[in-house]
Amino acid sequence: MSNTNDVEITVSDGSGAVVVVPSAKVQVKIGVGSGGTAAINQVCASTQPSQLEALHGRGPLAECAAIAALAGAVILSVQIPIVTLGTATAVVHAGTGGSVMTATLDGTVGAFDDYYVVVKSVLAGTIGTGPVNIQFSLDAGRTFSPVLALGTATTYAIPNTGITLNFTVGTMVVGDTYKFRTVAPAGNDAGVTAAIAALQASPYAIQGWGSMHLVGPINGASAATYQTNLETAAVTYDVFTRIMTEARDASPATTWGGSGETEAAWMSSLQTSFSALQARREGVGAGHYNMVSAFPILGTTFRYRRPGEWAVAARVTTIPTQRMASRVSDGQLSQIIVDPTSDPGDGFIYHDERITPGLTGSRFQACRTRVGKGVGFYLDLPNLMSPTGSDFQYFPQGSVIDVVCDIAKQTAADEIDNDLILNTNGTISEFDALRIESVTNQAIKNSCTDVKMISGGSVVVSRTQNVRTTGKVLMTVTINGVGYVTEVDITVGFQH
């Protein structure tokens, strides 16, 4: 390792000073938006949904960030370029009316988000002459807008969605429905890589953040790219962080223009896509559920189908760094809305790792129900996609190490270009070695041990390194992490 006139951190994996510890409530969000005032790759700090909407418009980035902000998080959002516009499937008409409906999309963005659109006629009439009243749903019919009078209009633009409904002249019969699905716009790996570079070059990197979340579905190949990005950020730029990402949803029923993919086929596809991934800086969520939107439309709050990782990411901002987001005593993931009456028959897959295990064992972050704990979902385990044998099996283990790296970096930086007392053979004097150890040990104690982030730690400065000839002080930091209870075994019986 060359002499860089700086502190160099090497993280070992399985084989008082005043320091700044990144706040767990600060979370980076990277994704696409429909517009707003934020420039591409501009790092924006926000705490309110209204701020996020002004910065990024509507769509996955603003929605996901707003969910975390409502949980109390401070959001550092970065908007990436749209490479693939949002799309829509063909409209499926059910009923006897003669009017044909099609959907057109915003020319710059496409559809702003993932919507399951249902349009229904609630007052019979003839398009173009009226009277015709309709309602629309963006969440597969779970929630409907107020009644809308079309009058003589033949089109209707659904606000803040990028969708315009177009009707041919013809009759509308009460009860007729029109269904189609949209897919949100997407960025690409180059856009995410540029966003990470912008973050590490920003003033916010000096203070740090608690976690990162990439909004939008990815595959195993993209996940490997982001792992490389974050390792480079750590080694080259001293930005120590982990990222939460999300795998795709199962293809929906043919009614929505999908293939009707089974849960087994979907799980197998994800396992294949991510099987070769070795990413100790990345946790990949799998499974989609219904969540309340942060942005009502026409006064209606829709319940969109969202990755479970959105709820996990929000939970991470509310708990200490060392805490499992899956800790049962912290309660269900409150953003996931379960309707035990309608959900089982609505044609969507709500993966439950308790009922259909397999994703947790494949290192995904999957959700599950718990008997006796209500109808909601919990995270099963906050896995990282680490290789076998890694010390970083769980997301909080990695986050804790990142904090310790930050502390060691900051305390050691005070030694750069310092003059030390040396022994005759060029090694550091015991006085200075003990001084350096004491400063870093105290910083780790104050910021980690005393707040129960770790069970303890030790710092050892090498007494054999020739500082005179190399200009380097070698320091080893070892921490004793906290333990996690992943199983409780109980024996119950009668007294004899």
For residue 484, count other CB atoms closer than 10 A to its CB: 16
Rounded mean pLDDT of the chain? 94
pLDDT score at 11: 55
Distance between CA atoms of residues 368 and 395, nearest Å: 18
Mean pLDDT to the nearest integer, 254-274: 97
- Reported as a single tens digit per residue, the pLDDT across 183-220 is 999 999 999 999 999 999 999 998 899 999 999 999 99
Burial class (CB in 10 A: 0-12, 13-18, 19+), 264: exposed
Distance between CA atoms of residues 358 and 354, nearest Å: 9
Q: Domain 26-83+187-379's class? A: alpha beta
| Contact yes or no for 144/301 (Cβ under 8 A) | no
Distance between CA atoms of residues 241 and 233, nearest Å: 8
Give 22's pLDDT tier (boundaries 50, 70, 90).
Answer: confident
pLDDT at 156 over 80: yes
pLDDT at 113 over 60: yes
Give 21's pLDDT tier (boundaries 50, 70, 90).
Answer: confident
pLDDT score at 53: 97
| Contact yes or no for 134/150 (Cβ under 8 A) | yes
- Quote the tokens at residue 326: 């899956």
- Reported as a single tens digit per residue, the pLDDT across 316-369 is 999 999 999 999 999 999 999 999 988 998 999 999 999 999 999 999 999 999
pLDDT score at 15: 39
**Residue-range domain boundaries for the chain:** 26-83+187-379, 87-183, 414-496
Distance between CA atoms of residues 331 and 241, nearest Å: 26
Distance between CA atoms of residues 189 and 30, nearest Å: 12
pLDDT at 248 over 90: yes
**Higher-scoring residue by pLDDT: 21, 454:** 454
pLDDT at 374 over 50: yes
pLDDT score at 8: 53
pLDDT score at 3: 47
Least-confidence region, from 16-30, 92-106, 396-410: 16-30
Distance between CA atoms of residues 113 and 183, nearest Å: 6
- Reported as a single tens digit per residue, the pLDDT across 420-431 is 999 999 999 999
Q: Partners of 292 in the beta sheet?
A: 303
Give 6's pLDDT tier (boundaries 50, 70, 90).
Answer: low
- Reported as a single tens digit per residue, the pLDDT across 464-493 is 999 999 999 999 999 999 999 999 999 999
